[in-house]
Structure 1
Amino acid sequence: MVTANRIEISWLDGLRGTAALVVVAFHAFLFTGRTGDAAAAMPVWGAIVGQGYLGVPVFIVLSGYVLMLPVVRGGAGTFRNGIADFLKRRARRILPPYFAALLFSLALIAAVPLLQSPSGTQWDSKIPIDLPSVLSHVFLLQDLSPQWIEKINGPMWSVAVEWQIYFLMPLVLLPLWRRMPHVVVVAAITAVLLVPAFVGYGAYLHPWLVGLFAMGMFAAELTLSERLPRWLPWGAGATGLAAVAVFVASALRGTDLLPFKEVVAGGLIALLLAWGGWREVNGRRVRPLRVFATRPMLYLGLISYSIYLFHSPLLGLANLVLLPLGLPTVVQYLVMTFVAAPLAVAVAWGMFHLVERHFLNRRQSRVEAAVHHEQTPSSAPAHVRSSRQAGPAA
């Protein structure tokens, strides 16, 4: 039974940082050469690295998980200091780095003519820049239209989704949570919001991500329960089989069953968090996950939001600079992955220090201090430390 006021599970940081790097690796492949060049030149490798977009459902499940932990600990099914305080803290953490990245992207496009004209590359989906696309990003509404969602800086659409879920959590999800069985809430929301994937209308909204957020909430409930339910191993096995079935069906059909991949991936991550979190909270270390709590992984998790926000336009520019060299596609991909991507991460590191580090929450400030002093964030047991993190923003 947990008796402390706050909770921290340190390997969540490294897990988040790893997800950010997976997304960067995916985009390095996606931006290589003209549109489709990398997939044609490296079909097998493309089938592997091309699943990198699954870093997004990892972020969403993590967000639901860590934001729900203090709610579960409070016992009332509500935020301790009210909805306004919750949204204020989320805004302070999420929005300043987001707007810095938006200004950075717009300034880069305005300053570099190479980024302003179509070139037959993946970058073409980011331009031209017009007033509606800019305003939709300013108000975090770009996910509401297929004409806006990929403009300027592609990864930003998921930040908009997460921002909107922050409002749904207290206004919709928690009220349902207090009135209905939690597994029913998760199943019903996920099933209903998968409908656009079946009817082929509105799927660009990724509405099922709300269900993944709810999966994270449920994982938090299980983490702080007295004991894990007996069905958890069976649920993990069934979800694993579902994941295999979805990936095989996707390969056989020749189409990417993205919504269903994201749902099963989210389910697996939620089950992992429930199992690993429960063991850690109860003093039972989870050795396979401890690698994510090492000093380098903690630091990677600390800057993961900046990595996520700033890398895309830099990779787009790097590809356009390389194109006139006429490199073979495989060589260009290697340069994108092992030169351009690390440079983009380095710029993100700089932007973290310039902007994001001034808006860290208290826990993250402690992590930063501990990392720089080559210590762990705290020597206290997992169940007496703090956990206020979310999504790529930690």
Structure 2
Amino acid sequence: MPVPVQEIQTVPKTSNQHLLYLDSLRALAAIYVVIHHAVLHYYPSIKDLSEYQLTPTQSILFQFLKHGYYAVDLFIVLSGFSLMLSVIKNDYLIKGGYLKFIKRRIIRIIPPYYSAVLISLLLIWFFIKDKSGTQWDVCIPVSRVDIIRHILLIHDFYHSSFPRINDVLWSVAVEFRIYLFFPLLVYLWKKQGIMIALFTSVIISLAGSIALIYLSNGNTDINLTAPGVSPYIILFTTGMLAAEFSYSASDSTNYIKALYYNASFGKKILAPAIFLVLFILAKNLLKNVQSPNTDSIIKYLMDVLMGILFGFTLFFLSTTIQLNRNNHWVIKALSWKPLAWIGTFSYSLYLIHSPVLQLLSKYFLAPIEISTSTKSYLLIIIGTTSAIAIAYIFHVLFERPFMGLKNKPKIIPIISV
């Protein structure tokens, strides 16, 4: 039965609705990263599984678990979506202006980040400073320059510092940098329109990439894989667009939501399918191009594609909830409170899980004479459970105290990666 436009309801500006599915998605992304790193721990070349003698079951499992960057893509899209929700509720204005916004972001993101840096350094110094033949080896040794770059949030620009200390911290620098552009994007969104804001994010991303390519000609240590804001500012803006389509009170967005839900299944997946086909074609063409930047271009395109697909997912979930279809099986699954609870401290889980996995690997699994695959499975189970427990303690000590130092928005606060 067709859904009339009048039945589409947006979240009221006075609503305190807690969007459980956002917390659950954060939890799933964080848990996926932990499991990905548990596998990567013993299979560092997981991107090329042909190097290992794997069973068919292992090959299928590891193929699914080797895409850790996709979880980062989801985190970035969720960040744009969450921040845009509060902007929409405030008539497309940032509460308190630019400086207050940046102050809130600093208070929310930086103290837990610096705490994770310090704890990781202490663990390296006393317990996990030796090479072990695992993925952790990329985090050590740590130089004075690495520490300074991490403090300044510029370590993602350098190959030599990118994975040091704790190999997940690069994304915190990237996302915090994106926050600096958010007020500009909101201003353009309100004054010039959505397309200008989207175009601006693309220009910023391309300009950053071109600048890095130019700098890399004179400095081979410049990292072109995932530094700066490229391509993640595009994903961030995609999340903003998903929030606009999902929760804007305008007649046009309500019409789009009704049109989407009244469409056939084939039409609903048409746009994501087109993006997927275009990516596959582009990836195959680029494989034949002999260029040192080919891998970076392929990853750039894949990240943008995943960002668009995640944006569609958020639009689907939000619209489903607004149509009071909470009995939809996806909504029910993402409303599971234990999963949503993990999502409330997913930032801490992301920050601290890597050294936890190495501690378990070195002091618990290494002394046991079992196969590498068995160690990997055990690290997935024990490591994920332990990381969640320790992350909650970290959250209570180093994240939650700072969450109370700012005015918390009605919509759940952004979780960085």
Q: Name 1:61's counterpart in structure 2.
A: 77
Q: Name 1:278's counterpart in structure 2.
A: 319
State whether residues 32 and 38 of structure 1, in contact with CA within 8 Å, keep that contact through their aligned partners in structure 2.
no
State whether residues 280 and 286 of structure 1, in contact with CA within 8 Å, keep that contact through their aligned partners in structure 2.
no
After the TM superposition, which residues 247-262 of structure 1 pair with which residues of structure 2 at under 5 Å, given as runs? Answer: 257-262=298-303
Cα deviation digits, residues 258-302 of structure 1 (max 9, x gap)? 332222221111122123223434544362123222220221111
Cα distance in 2 between the residues matched to 1:276 and 1:6: 18
2:226 to 204, 220, 231: 204
Task: Specify the code of the residue in structure 2 equivalent to 1:259.
Answer: Y
State whether residues 7 and 69 of structure 1, in contact with CA within 8 Å, keep that contact through their aligned partners in structure 2.
no
**Structure 2 CA distance for partners of 1:363 and 1:5, relative to 1, 3 Å:** farther
Give the gaps of 5 or more residues in structure 1: 366-384
1:161 to 162, 167, 174: 174
State whether residues 347 and 416 of structure 2, in contact with CA within 8 Å, keep that contact through their aligned partners in structure 1.
yes
Q: After the TM superposition, which of the residue ranges 144-153 and 231-240 deviates more from structure 2?
A: 231-240
Task: Specify the code of the residue in structure 2 equivalent to 1:59.
Answer: F
1:333 to 376, 380, 394: 376
Instruction: Give 1:248 shift.
Output: 8.8
State whether residues 107 and 402 of structure 2, in contact with CA within 8 Å, keep that contact through their aligned partners in structure 1.
yes
Instruction: Give 1:187 shift.
Output: 5.3
Cα deviation digits, residues 298-336 of structure 1 (max 9, x gap)? 211112111111001121333344345453221111111
State whether residues 106 and 152 of structure 1, in contact with CA within 8 Å, keep that contact through their aligned partners in structure 2.
yes
State whether residues 321 and 331 of structure 2, in contact with CA within 8 Å, keep that contact through their aligned partners in structure 1.
no
**Structure 2 CA distance for partners of 1:280 and 1:17, relative to 1, 3 Å:** same
Cα distance in 1 between the residues matched to 2:241 and 2:388: 33
State whether residues 44 and 134 of structure 2, in contact with CA within 8 Å, keep that contact through their aligned partners in structure 1.
yes
Cα distance in 2 between the residues matched to 1:28 and 1:364: 37
Q: Name 2:291's counterpart in structure 1.
A: none
Cα distance in 2 between the residues matched to 1:329 and 1:19: 25
Q: Name 1:16's counterpart in structure 2.
A: 26
After the TM superposition, which residues 173-252 of structure 1 pair with which residues of structure 2 at under 5 Å, given as runs? Answer: 173-183=185-195, 185-186=197-198, 189-190=201-202, 193=205, 201=213, 202-205=224-227, 207-225=230-248, 226=251, 227-229=254-256, 230=259, 234=267, 236-243=269-276, 246=279
Instruction: Give 1:151 shift.
Output: 0.9
Cα distance in 2 between the residues matched to 1:184 and 1:231: 24
Larger radius of gyration: 2
State whether residues 57 and 265 of structure 1, in contact with CA within 8 Å, keep that contact through their aligned partners in structure 2.
yes
Cα distance in 2 between the residues matched to 1:193 and 1:24: 28
1:94 to 101, 109, 112: 109
Cα deviation digits, residues 29-62 of structure 1 (max 9, x gap)? 1112665599423443221110233111111101
Determine helix, strand or coil for the equivalent of 1:120: coil
Q: Does 2:74 match 1:32? A: no
Q: Does 2:90 match 1:74? A: yes
State whether residues 108 and 402 of structure 2, in contact with CA within 8 Å, keep that contact through their aligned partners in structure 1.
yes
Q: Name 1:125's counterpart in structure 2.
A: 138
State whether residues 54 and 262 of structure 1, in contact with CA within 8 Å, keep that contact through their aligned partners in structure 2.
yes
How many residues of Structure 1 are paired with residues of Structure 2 in the alignment? 370
State whether residues 310 and 348 of structure 1, in contact with CA within 8 Å, keep that contact through their aligned partners in structure 2.
yes
Give the gaps of 5 or more residues in structure 2: 1-9, 214-223, 289-294
Cα distance in 1 between the residues matched to 2:369 and 2:203: 47
**Structure 2 CA distance for partners of 1:221 and 1:28, relative to 1, 3 Å:** same
Instruction: Give 1:18 shift.
Output: 0.9
Q: Name 2:354's counterpart in structure 1.
A: 312
**Structure 2 CA distance for partners of 1:34 and 1:144, relative to 1, 3 Å:** closer
Q: Name 2:13's counterpart in structure 1.
A: 4
Q: After the TM superposition, which of the residue ranges 88-97 and 271-280 deviates more from structure 2?
A: 271-280
**Structure 2 CA distance for partners of 1:31 and 1:165, relative to 1, 3 Å:** same
Q: After the TM superposition, which of the residue ranges 294-303 and 15-24 deviates more from structure 2?
A: 294-303
Q: Name 2:220's counterpart in structure 1.
A: none
Task: Specify the code of the residue in structure 2 equivalent to 1:314.
Answer: V
Task: Specify the code of the residue in structure 2 equivalent to 1:204.
Answer: A
Cα deviation digits, residues 325-363 of structure 1 (max 9, x gap)? 453221111111112232222211221222222233599
**Structure 2 CA distance for partners of 1:101 and 1:81, relative to 1, 3 Å:** same
Determine helix, strand or coil for the equivalent of 2:167: coil
Cα deviation digits, residues 85-113 of structure 1 (max 9, x gap)? 2222222221222121111101000111x
Q: After the TM superposition, which of the residue ranges 55-64 and 329-338 deviates more from structure 2?
A: 329-338
**Structure 2 CA distance for partners of 1:36 and 1:214, relative to 1, 3 Å:** closer
Identity of aligned residues (%): 29
The runs of at least 4 consecutive aligned structure 1 residues that moved more than 6 Å come to 195-200, 247-252, 362-365
State whether residues 93 and 361 of structure 1, in contact with CA within 8 Å, keep that contact through their aligned partners in structure 2.
no
> How well do the aligned residues superpose, as a CA RMSD in angstroms?
3.3
If the length of structure 2 is used for normalisation, what is the TM-score? Answer: 0.78
Cα distance in 1 between the residues matched to 2:138 and 2:307: 27
Task: Specify the code of the residue in structure 1 equivalent to 2:171.
Answer: S
Task: Specify the code of the residue in structure 1 equivalent to 2:243.
Answer: A
**Structure 2 CA distance for partners of 1:221 and 1:37, relative to 1, 3 Å:** closer
Cα distance in 1 between the residues matched to 2:32 and 2:284: 21
**Structure 2 CA distance for partners of 1:286 and 1:124, relative to 1, 3 Å:** same
State whether residues 47 and 66 of structure 2, in contact with CA within 8 Å, keep that contact through their aligned partners in structure 1.
no
Cα distance in 2 between the residues matched to 1:364 and 1:191: 33
Determine helix, strand or coil for the equivalent of 1:341: helix
Q: Which has the higher helix share?
A: 1
Cα distance in 2 between the residues matched to 1:36 and 1:284: 40
